[in-house]
């Protein structure tokens, strides 16, 4: 059974200044593989870098199942200038009663530092607190990932916890820094990324 909020999903694509958020399609397998096969992109994620294209196809199948059953909303971040898929952002682990979800994101290394993901995340947060009427977003990051921490803080997230040795990926143990953002905080800061 789909969560009730699933019926409130926005029309896609979502057109932004430099990027658009859209559904991820089977035809994106090469781009998804290029993003997730990069060891630098995968370094701080909870799964190892992809090694075979079929892993991208399997990920896309799970993403598309999420569209159907409402367990996640993973969107491609496409650069409008040339239609290149530069990354992905996702809402997942929905807790309907508490109106809570986790937020995640991946950006291809050639596109780091250009503000594409910040633009995309502002729009995704607007969807979370607007159309989906969520009350809280959470982000779980590796505390060594300084760029991700800066991004979350720029968006108004607050570090709320530190979980020791939470992940083991390919034998490497890592901690988690847990961040949270409340709907009221987003609205009080002007929402829609004003002054961000």
The three-state secondary structure class of 40 is: helix
77 within a domain of the structure (yes/no): yes
140 within a domain of the structure (yes/no): yes
- As a whole number of angstroms, the distance between CA 9 and CA 24 comes to 15
Q: How many helices (H) and strands (E) does the chain have?
A: 6, 8
24 within a domain of the structure (yes/no): yes
- pLDDT tens string, the chain, 196 residues long: the values are 455 556 667 789 999 999 999 999 999 999 999 999 999 998 888 889 999 999 999 999 999 999 888 889 999 999 999 999 999 999 999 999 999 999 999 999 999 999 999 999 999 999 999 999 999 999 999 999 999 999 999 999 999 999 999 989 888 899 999 999 999 999 999 876 444 4
Which range marks the domain in which residue 143 is found? 12-188
114 within a domain of the structure (yes/no): yes
State how many domains the chain has: 1
166 within a domain of the structure (yes/no): yes
27 within a domain of the structure (yes/no): yes
What letters, b where the CB count within 10 A reaches 16 and e where it falls short, cover 37-73? Answer: bbeebbebbeeebbeeeebbeebbeebeebbeebebb
Which H or E run includes 147? helix 146-154
122 within a domain of the structure (yes/no): yes
**Strands 85-95 vs 72-79: parallel, antiparallel or unpaired:** antiparallel
149 within a domain of the structure (yes/no): yes
Where residue 164 sits, what CATH number does that domain have? Answer: 3.40.630.30
């Amino acid at each position: 059974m789909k969560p009730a909020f699933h019926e409130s999903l926005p029309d896609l694509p979502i057109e932004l200044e430099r990027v658009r958020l859209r559904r991820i399609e089977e035809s994106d397998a090469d781009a998804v593989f290029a993003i997730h096969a990069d060891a630098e992109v995968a370094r701080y994620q909870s799964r190892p870098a992809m090694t075979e294209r079929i892993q991208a196809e399997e990920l896309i199948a799970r993403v598309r199942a999420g569209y159907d059953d409402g367990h996640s909303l993973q969107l491609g971040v496409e650069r409008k200038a040339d239609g290149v898929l530069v990354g992905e952002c996702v809402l997942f682990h929905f807790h309907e009663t508490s109106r809570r979800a986790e937020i995640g994101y991946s950006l291809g290394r050639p596109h780091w530092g250009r503000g594409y993901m910040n633009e995309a995340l502002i729009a995704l947060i607007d969807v979370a607190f607007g159309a989906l009427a969520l009350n809280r977003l959470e982000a779980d990051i590796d505390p060594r990932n300084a760029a991700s921490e800066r991004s979350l803080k720029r968006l108004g997230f607050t570090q709320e916890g530190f979980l020791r040795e939470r992940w083991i990926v390919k034998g490497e143990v890592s901690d988690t820094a847990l961040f949270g953002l409340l709907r009221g905080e987003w609205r009080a800061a002007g929402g829609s990324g004003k002054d961000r």
